[in-house]
Amino acid sequence: MMRRNASIKISRVFAAATGKPRFLSTEMHNSVPEEAADAVVVGAGVVGIAVARELSMKLRREVLVIESAPTFGTGSSSRNSEVIHAGIYYPPNSLKALFCVNGRHLLYNYCKEHDIPHKQIGKLIVATRASEIPKLSILMNRGIENGVEGLRMIDGEEAMRMEPELYCTKALLSPVSGIIDSHSLMLSLLGEAESHGATFCYNTSVIGGKYEQGRLQLYVSESKNLENWDGKSPLKPDLVLSPRIVVNASGLGAVALSRRIHGPDNGVVPRPYFARGCYFTLSNIKTSPFHHLIYPIPEDGGLGVHVTLDLNGQVRFGPDVEWINGVDDVSTFLNLFDYSVPWDRANRFYPEIRKYYPYLTDGSLEPGYAGVRSKLSGATQGAVDFTIQGEDVHGVPGLVNLLGIESPGLTSCMAIAEYVAARLST
């Protein structure tokens, strides 16, 4: 089978590689081994895994998933708030709105059917001063237009009775919001994909490709060979794959990869932006001060420093927004971002959190973790929708690029997978 042969070929080529890492240009490489494949998914985050499951189960494709990391879900899929979003924030009829609402239904049903740890705990979006109340009304109207069920505007007194530690003047209650164990979700989706024949190949990077004379090729390299890249030399593959269909679900590296596939109209590929966000945990508490997710009014680049709860009741605050510049392609392929959380960063968190949690005491925040969001707009530019580019946009049959899949990507993963499979089935 082509899928198995491709996976075996990758392993053999890498096992035989000796000497210094090879750096190559993405030109014709007659000396590089070539292997055919049916369907290749680049990236084993939650979206890539969901796509692999859909292609293998529903379309009966022989799927090869290529992931640069040693295992699945090490990027944005494991460094987020683990929230099941309702679909409130996004412009009506946008992909984010459509996928979030549909994806939420699919996700809750999947979790129930497969015993994935999750909980529908609800969310309060809070206004802490009178000037923010009109923004709550806008969010409520947008959510209703998007088809979000059960939204209700409540006054501050009712919200504070629900959450005695909270301060607000008004709140929007979203009862269908929830939390999920994202690792358990990915593990379940991956297991189903594998049971339907999908193969996952780790420590392997797709560094480019080309489309020429009706033929799509991907350039594949062992990830460790990229680690000593000098930032200037062209990248050389260890293997060339010739797949029938390709889904670029490589998350933080998706834009860089789409630009490195020569032949399509690269002018349609948007510019990438990256926003780093830190989380802090609440320490020295016996019980959680909150029972709902608590979100402030959204800010530029994110949804504000909010309260999230994990399934064990631990309280997390975050993320903030720090824009990152000067990111090279290999850093996105290998996820070489700085995920450290400095202690003194908490000084920025205390005043933001105390707007709605005035009882937060000094010294109660401890560094948690950090994540990086793949975005298609920068600071002050306004939010941009998910971008899904197929043949109708770039001109390459069988290639689908998933770009800017940030929040609500986790909630949307199964809806995105259905959409991609539908496009590739025609």
For the residues 368-372, what does the mean pLDDT come to?
97
Percent of the residues in the chain that have a pLDDT greater than 70, as a whole number: 92
Tokens 């990086």 belong to which residue?
372
Query: Tell me, what's the pLDDT at 295?
Result: 96
DSSP per residue over 303-362, as a string? S-SEEEE-TT--EEEE---EEE----HHHHHHT-------GGGHHHHHHHHTTT-TTPPT
Mean pLDDT, residues 267-285: 93
pLDDT at 365 over 60: yes
Digit-coded pLDDT (tens) for 98-122: 999 999 999 999 999 999 999 999 9
With a CB cutoff of 8 Å and minimum separation 6, the contacts of 190 are: 44, 49, 52, 53, 72, 200
Is the full-model pTM beyond 0.85?
yes
